[in-house]
Structure 1
Amino acid sequence: MDFLISSAWAQAAGAPQASPWSPLVMMLVFVAVFFFFVIRPQMKRAKDHRTMVSAIAKGDEVVTNGGMLGRVDEVGDAFLAIEVAEKVVIRVQKNAIAAVLPKGTLKSA
């Protein structure tokens, strides 16, 4: 009768079970790596930009995110008046300033 059904033999001991904590530990490692390589540098850049924007004063030479170069003519709470050419003044939001340039950059540009 054994020729139709194979005999069931006891199996050897199975492989040891992995720790139930290992997926949680790996997820925490991924979160930590993501924080230190993505979130933290972005927070630092945002803080540096806020500091730069709050320190802008009349007479500073700036460049906007759109690439416009000019000299700050007037500073308001949320907007700046920038003179881009003689008697040509534009108003931009403070957050649209990409960088404050060293003095004399406009003359060389």
Structure 2
Amino acid sequence: MFDILAAAGGAAAEAPPAWINWLPIIGMILIFWFLIIRPQMKRTKEHQQKVAGLKKGDQVVTAGGLVGKIAKVDDDYVHIDLAQGVRVKAIKQTIGDVIPPGGSAAND
């Protein structure tokens, strides 16, 4: 009689397979990948393409919020005309965005 009760109690206390315990962690990793990491990688790639495509005459906005027109493009730097007679040298990676030709003029 005790053997039957012991067998029934042992079956009820049996733990689920170990891989089931990892399912919530794997699910969280997948959620982070699709909602945070993947979109950030896409934005970074788009920014690198914009920076690689900079050319003289493009109107740009720097990461600091300065708006100007590119006067010269080097390998790592761009020279930006902010106003008449005001030219700054900026690192290419600090260019935040390129203003489309229909945007407002920076050097009025």
Structure 1 length as normaliser, TM-score? Answer: 0.81
SS at structure 2 position matched to 1:90: strand
Which structure features the higher share of helix residues? 2
Larger Rg: 1
Aligned length: 100
- Identity among equivalent positions (%) equals 34
- CA drift at 1:17: 2.4
Alpha-carbon distance between aligned partners in 2 of 1:41 and 1:63, rounded to the nearest angstrom: 22
RMSD value over aligned CA atoms? 2.1
Structure 2 portions without partners, runs of 5+: none
Distance 1:71 1:108, change over 3 A: closer
How far off its partner does 1:32 sit?
A: 1.2
Aligned equivalents of 1:21 and 1:67: distance in 2?
A: 50
- TM superposition outliers: structure 1 runs of 4+ over 3 Å: none
Preserved contact between residue 60 and residue 101 of structure 1 (Cα < 8 Å): yes
CA contact (8 A) 1:70 1:82 kept: yes
Task: Give the direction of change, closer, same or farther, for the CA distance of 1:107–1:66 in structure 2 (3 Å limit).
Answer: closer
- The question of whether the paired residues in 2 share the 8 Å contact of 1:65 and 1:98 is answered with yes
Q: 1:31 to 1:52 in 2, by over 3 A?
A: same
**What TM-score does the superposition give when structure 2 sets the normalisation length?**
0.82
* Structure 1 residue ranges without an equivalent (≥5): 1-9
Give the Cα separation in 2 of the matches to 1:71 and 1:17.
67
Partner residue, 1:7: none
